[in-house]
Amino acid sequence: MNPPIRVFIVDDHAIVRSGITSLLNKNPDFELVGEAENGESAISKILEIVPDVVLLDISMMDIFGIEVMKKVKSHSFCNAIRFFMVTNYDFDEYYYRSLKAGALGVVSKSVSEAELIKGIYLVSKGQMYFGESLSVQDVLKIVADLDRINFSENDPENVHLTDRDIDILRLLLKGLKSKDIAEQLSISIRTVEVYRSNLFQKFNVATPNELGSFISSSQKLIQRINLKEKYL
């Protein structure tokens, strides 16, 4: 009898972790060996436990899942770990980036329990999986097409932005402080700080001035966030 597949869960929503834990505990083929609610703690725990499969949320509040994967994979003793990414979105550039960083699978959080179990099992065996609605061949063709057009993670036109990202980005580039942004958008200062940190991470910058300079290099993105007059 084969030993169970050792799985580590990383997701910043407790209800998601609880649901996946319950699902795995029902299946003797899997053993839950740990979990983390954020990227920082995930890295240290994964390096200590060295699981077979990491089920990793792409979009977390502190560090993007792709960065967590890159940092873990930078350690040679973690080369055997398989990464299976989950996301709130359908196919987008994060699928591409996850695969280029070394993930073997990506699925939407809307997949069925059966699909998630199947995906964890296949990824643990070194196979690729993207849910029943996306074949491996289709995904690899899209990746190849993006490679051909020189898709760049550092191109601001390729950075995925949510509506809230755009709201906060627009106000940041107007020079507003976190407190003022929070008041204007009726959200907490903590929420603003989290989005601010994620935006800096997405664009690989450290200050609002660097962010403005980076945005100004893309006319398409300027138009998208209605800042054309300010930055042309």
* pTM of the predicted structure, to 2 decimals: 0.68
Other Cβ atoms within 10 Å of 112 Cβ, number: 11
Summarised one tens digit per residue, pLDDT across range 100-137 is 889 999 998 889 999 999 999 999 999 999 999 888 98
Asked if pLDDT for residue 159 goes beyond 50, the answer is yes
Comparison of pLDDT for 44 and 205, the residue scoring more: 44
CA angle 194, 214, 99 (to 5 degrees): 70
Amino acid 148 reads: R
SS3 track for the chain: CCCCEEEEEECCCHHHHHHHHHHHHCCCCEEEEEEECCHHHHHHHHHHHCCCEEEEECCCCCCCHHHHHHHHHCCHHHCCCEEEEEECCCCCHHHHHHHHHCCCEEEECCCCHHHHHHHHHHHHCCCCECCCCCCHHHHHHHHHHHHHCCCCCCCHHHCCCCHHHHHHHHHHHCCCCHHHHHHHHCCCHHHHHHHHHHHHHHHCCCCHHHHHHHHCCCHHHHHHCCCHHHHC
Residues in the chain: 232
Residue 230 confidence (pLDDT) above 60: no
Mean model confidence pLDDT for the chain:
85
Kindly list the structural domains of the chain, giving each domain's residue range(s) and its CATH number in brackets, ordered by start.
Answer: 5-148 (3.40.50.2300), 156-231 (1.10.10.10)
Tell me what pLDDT residue 232 has.
33
Where residue 154 falls among pLDDT bands split at 50, 70, 90?
A: low
Instruction: List pLDDT tens digits, range 62-111.
Output: 788 888 999 999 999 999 999 999 987 665 567 878 898 899 999 988 89
Among the ranges given (87-91, 179-183, 187-191), the one the predictor scored with the smallest mean pLDDT: 87-91
Dump pLDDT digits (tens) for 16-31.
999 999 999 999 999 9
